[in-house]
Structure 1
Amino acid sequence: MSTHPNRYEILLVPAHVQDRGGASVADSAVRSAVVERTGRHGESGYPIYEGHGMVADIDPETGTVEALLVDGRELDYGLVALVRDAATG
């Protein structure tokens, strides 16, 4: 039985933002997507999650995005992918 989460929310946040002025990370994101586990593993060896134009290999132990495609392309320079548990329901 897998202990990997079934879904995450990926937030794409500008890397240069130092002071969010009290805004939350979610409010600072230029894009977000809820991705769901596919049951497959990527080249990195980690589970693949996909949804809303994003495909990501995510390390479930650390919550680190190991690989990411956004609309079929690599992440633009200057953006950072952050992961948080997606709200269920």
Structure 2
Amino acid sequence: MSTVPRRFEILLVPEHVEDRGGAAVEDSAVRSAVVEATGENGASGYPRYSGHGIVADIDPATRTVEALLVDGYELDYGLTALVSDRAPR
């Protein structure tokens, strides 16, 4: 039996960044937020997480953001939502 993680850190990263010059993805993020499990599933069928103006449906097995709202709006073109590899703060 697998357990769903209680929290993730979401990073909003510009898609156009090709060479980070050795910087981590976290350093290229224009916004980040720690989101916590709401106990509900979103329209995508994956667990819903919320926090700091971000609501996301995340596949905990692949750590993929399946659906996302930022301050109530869809993500702007040119930005990608990623789950951070580091432990949430």
TM over 0.5: yes
Distance 2:18 2:61 in 1: 27
Which residue in 2 is equivalent to 1:22? 22
Letter paired with 1:45: G
Unaligned runs of 5+ in 1: none
Classify the secondary structure of the residue corresponding to 1:74: coil
Q: Percent identity?
A: 75
Distance 2:39 2:88 in 1: 19
The answer to whether the Cα contact below 8 Å between 1:56 and 1:68 also exists between their aligned partners in 2 is yes
Which residue in 2 is equivalent to 1:53? 53
The answer to whether the Cα contact below 8 Å between 1:8 and 1:86 also exists between their aligned partners in 2 is no
Classify the secondary structure of the residue corresponding to 1:73: coil
Shift in Å at residue 85 of structure 1? 5.3
> What is the number of residues matched between the two proteins?
89
Distance 1:69 1:31 in 2: 13
TM-score (norm 1): 0.93
Letter paired with 1:33: A
Distance 2:15 2:76 in 1: 11
Segments of 4+ in structure 1 off by > 6 A?
Answer: none
Distance 2:3 2:50 in 1: 18
Alpha-carbon RMSD across the aligned residues, in angstroms, is 1.6
The answer to whether the Cα contact below 8 Å between 1:11 and 1:32 also exists between their aligned partners in 2 is yes
Classify the secondary structure of the residue corresponding to 2:67: strand
Distance 1:60 1:79 in 2: 21
Does residue 3 in structure 1 map to residue 11 in structure 2? no
Q: Choose between structure 1 and 2: higher strand proportion.
A: 1
TM-score (norm 2): 0.93
Letter paired with 2:55: V
Distance 2:88 2:56 in 1: 19
